[in-house]
Structure 1
Amino acid sequence: MDGIKVVTIGGGSSYTPELIEGFIKRYDELPIRELWLVDIPEGREKLEIIGAFAKRMIEKANLPIDVYTTLDRKEALVNADFVTTQIRVGQLEAREKDEEIPLKYGVIGQETNGPGGLFKGLRTIPVILNICKDMEELCPDAWLINFSNPAGMVTEAVLRYSTITKTIGLCNVPVGMRMSIAEMLDVDASRVQIDFAGLNHMVYGLDVYLDGAIVTEQVLDKLTSDTGMTMNNIVDLGWEKDFIKALNVLPCPYHRYYYQTSKMLEEEQKEAAEKGTRAQVVQALEKDLFDLYKDPDLAIKPPQLEERGGAYYSDAACNLINSIYNDKRDIQPVNTRNNGAIASIPDDSAVEINCVITKEGPKPISIGDLPVAVRGLVQQIKSFERVSAEAAVTGDYNKALLAMTINPLVPSDTIATEILDEMMKAHKDYLPQFRGSRVM
């Protein structure tokens, strides 16, 4: 049949309208025939709301895209061309525990960094690998485009423990960085390019270009003298001018957790006491969003979605799918197999790096090696991702403890053990692979 079949697993997500908008904008190049939105029974109500809203958006755009909603993943996956995953195992209640429990021990509580990142990976990776098994049977030629966090760790696991080789991890952080820099420079974002390299939520801008000319020094200066570059879920504490000048590369917003750990911890503790954790804030935002989505007269993505952190997802996701489908050979930052692009990272590991996007997939652009000032931190986080992925697949308690301990946000093996044990018990319903370990 003519046209493309896209399956979105986690289709009841509040982010989905951003994806729908992106597909609508690109329909002339990306002729989607079927869009399947898949969720689990606990997400049935949200899925129905999103499905109805998606149909209204497509009807308003007067496009011949058929939208289906289902709780049966296998029904949806048959003969899919692209499968996107945006799942949250344990939903926002699990994220709340990921944020609250580490704070009790004086450790950063964040959903993709430190203990929270570990446990999100432990919950998410087995589910993603089960999706991969279904794809092997029902749509072996489909592309898997994963948005689920921690996206780098998930990509690492799929590359190592699945036969699905057509897989790419995706994040909106690089897109947000480029948009922020364009705003700093007061220019259209199309004029700004960045040489991205590193890992997911630990990616650096090695050089910044305006109309092809290097403006890295100017941007770094603005980063410490003008409005900072951050995201809705990460407080902007500013940067020490001399530190950024010495670093001489552009950090991403998540680097604050590593370079400003004590200040970020203090802010998290203060915010948790006054307003609740970010998960609690997001639950309120989501309630408001879904109240909007229910409106039968609403047929365009509401601007309030940007408060949720969904900004630029359509650009990242739909540009990627469009470039694969049309063999555009443009440059985009994605999570993919390193293949020698970063010298100090194993070739078979996942990295986040600028790639030429072709119909055969992403071709990483080699940078040689990362600057020595950032190389060690990136390697440490890569070790954390590798060991975490192994723990998620094997259910080995000792591997999970090792991953927790080697993460730079956890100060000691003793604290790592205490946090691990409490979080294992808190998340036991979503960690079946660890049943039989000493704390389960």
Structure 2
Amino acid sequence: MKKFSVVIAGGGSTFTPGIVLMLLENLQRFPLRAIKFYDNDKERQETIAKACAIILKEKAPDIEFSYSTDPETVFTDVDFVMAHIRVGKYKMREKDEKIPLKHGVLGQETCGPGGIAYGMRSIGGVLEILSYMEKYSPNAWMLNYSNPAAIVAEATNRLKPNAKILNICDMPIGIETRMATIAGLKSRKEMRVRYYGLNHFGWWNRIEDLQGNDLMPKIRKHVEQHGYITELKDDHTEVSWNDTFAKAKDVYALDKDTLPNTYLKYYLFPDYVVKHSNPNHTRANEVMENREKNVFGACRAIIEKGVSSAGHLEIDEHASYIVDLATAIAFNTQERMLLIVPNNGSINNFDATAMVEIPCIVGSSGPEPLVMGEIPRFQKGLMEQQVAVEKLVVEAWIEKSYQKLWQAITLSKTVPSASVAKAILDDLIEANKDYWPKLS
């Protein structure tokens, strides 16, 4: 069986050790000859990489491991690039969240003005990695889960339409895992779903088991009472995440024919989100105080003792979706997966140029989107507004246009007026002067 060479772009991320552990768990179906890390932050990557080198030496010594900040070294002779970069790191995420809150608007990593600010930073970073791939390994595929995935997908489709990039998101996977529990199944892979929307902005309209039995009534009944809260224990069941899973009950009440993505709470109940936010201590602070501290602490302990058992690192189960995708491409498995792809008529009463999140059949030549047909007016109206925001952000980045970015923030369903949008934008420009194109 062929063995593959994989780059993890964002080698200094706290998610990288979990992805390495997940890759090691899946070597039977996705064999590896090499794992490489790439990051432009040498010091941060070094800590994660040295710990991962010890893990790999213990668990899979035959896999060649290396890390570097030099693109040619890393991107030469690779088959897949798994990208999860965060331009500006958590310090900039903190500003994305706190600046809108200062103006009474929700502060969230991928939604509203914070997501727009993050998108303006991410576009250049993802395009840069694509250009390295094209130069040094033109046949490689990028599996991109860098956020905000919707804006990144719009930008790469517009600026690199022929690039071998697949944009994915694990949030529907987390929700489907909960749905499977609600339905009494062992795994989300025992379900077949139909889902449509944009990234972090979608709805399930059919869920069946593999025998074709309708699971929607049972899941709807649970969501109507409890949202997506289950007995399931995982990394996401912190207080802020529990609230998000519970709030799905209120989002569901708007349309009881479908089941919603949890992120819709930010667009449909922004007043609730602001009311329940602490403008001085946001999700970015939670992550820096917990995940950042724990993962880097574990890595330092592993390096110091020279054994993987010296530090506790958790396997990233959500990331197994990335292996599913890589395996589908590598071995032409024709697996059915949710991906962010050009609409091109899949949703036939919606913008053909929009990047939509829908089920696709994935093989060695990439994704074949399934036809979703017509969608209801309520969802269509919300999606048209949101896709306009995403397109305006990308146009603002390309044209270095203040006007278009102001329009994008004004059009976001999370922002109450153009004057508030302008005040937020001016603060975001100041905060992002080292990262955004200079706007005029």
TM-score, length basis structure 2: 0.90
Q: Is the CA contact 1:109–1:116 (under 8 Å) kept in the aligned structure 2?
A: yes
Q: What does 1:37-116 correspond to in 2, within 5 Å?
A: 37-40=37-40, 43-116=41-114
Alignment map for 1:171-250 (pairs within 5 Å) = 171-189=169-187, 190-211=189-210, 212-226=212-226, 228-229=228-229, 231=236, 232=238, 233-234=240-241, 235-236=243-244, 237-239=246-248, 244=253, 246-250=255-259
Runs of 4 or more consecutive aligned structure 1 residues displaced over 6 Å after TM superposition: 300-304
Look up the equivalent residue of 2:184 and give its one-letter code: D
Pairing partner for 1:353 from 350, 358, 361: 358
Q: 1:260 aligns with which of 269, 281, 304?
A: 269
Give yes or no for contact 1:171–1:334 (8 Å, CA) kept in 2.
Answer: yes
The gaps in structure 1 that reach 5 residues or longer are: none
Q: Which amino acid aligns with 2:88?
A: G
Q: Residues 13 and 240 (structure 1 numbering): CA distance in 2 closer, same or farther, change over 3 Å?
A: closer
1:2–1:194 distance in 2 versus 1, CA, 3 Å: closer
Structure 1 residue 32 and structure 2 residue 32: aligned?
yes
1:360-403 Cα shifts (integer Å, max 9, x gaps): 01111111122222111112111111111111222111111111
Moved more, 86-95 or 11-20: 11-20
Distance in 2 separating the partners of 1:225 and 1:198: 24
Question: Which residue is 2:289 aligned to?
Answer: 284
CA distance in 2, matches of 1:258, 1:141: 39
For residues 393 and 172 of structure 1, do their structure 2 counterparts lie closer, same or farther at Cα, with a shift above 3 Å needed? same
Residues 224, 63 of structure 1: alpha-carbon distance in 2 compared, 3 angstrom cutoff: farther
Letter of the structure 2 residue corresponding to residue 49 of structure 1 = T
With over 3 angstroms needed to count, the CA separation of the structure-2 counterparts of 1:305 and 1:24, relative to structure 1, is closer
Question: Which is further off, 286-295 or 231-240?
Answer: 231-240
Work out the CA distance in 1 between the residues paired with 2:415 and 2:115: 12
AA of the residue aligned to 2:207: V
Distance 1:300 1:385 in 2: 44
Whole-angstrom CA distance in 2 between matches of 1:348 and 1:374: 17
| Mapped partners of 2:252, 2:133: distance in 1 | 47
For the 8 Å contact 1:51–1:67, the answer to whether it is kept is no
Q: CA deviation at 1:304?
A: 6.8
Whether the aligned pair in 2 keeps the contact of 1:21 and 1:314 (CA below 8 Å) is no
5 Å-filtered alignment, 1:330-409, equals 330-409=335-414
Alignment CA distance shift 1:342-1:374 (3 Å): same
SS at match of 1:214: coil
Query: Structure 1 residue 419 and structure 2 residue 424: aligned?
Result: yes
Which residue is 2:233 aligned to?
none
SS at match of 2:340: strand
Q: After the TM superposition, which of the residue ranges 162-171 and 350-359 deviates more from structure 2?
A: 162-171
What secondary structure, in the 3-state scheme, does the structure 1 residue paired with 2:28 have?
Answer: coil
Query: In terms of mean alpha carbon deviation, does 156-165 or 322-331 score higher?
Result: 156-165
User: Within 1, Cα distance between the matches of 2:166 and 2:64?
Assistant: 25
CA distance in 1, matches of 2:6, 2:385: 36
Q: Does 1:329 align with 2:344?
A: no
Judged with a 3 Å threshold, the aligned counterparts in structure 2 of structure 1 residues 123 and 326 are, in CA distance, closer, same or farther, namely same
So what's the TM-score if we normalise by structure 1? 0.90
User: Unmatched 5+ residue regions in structure 2?
Assistant: 231-235
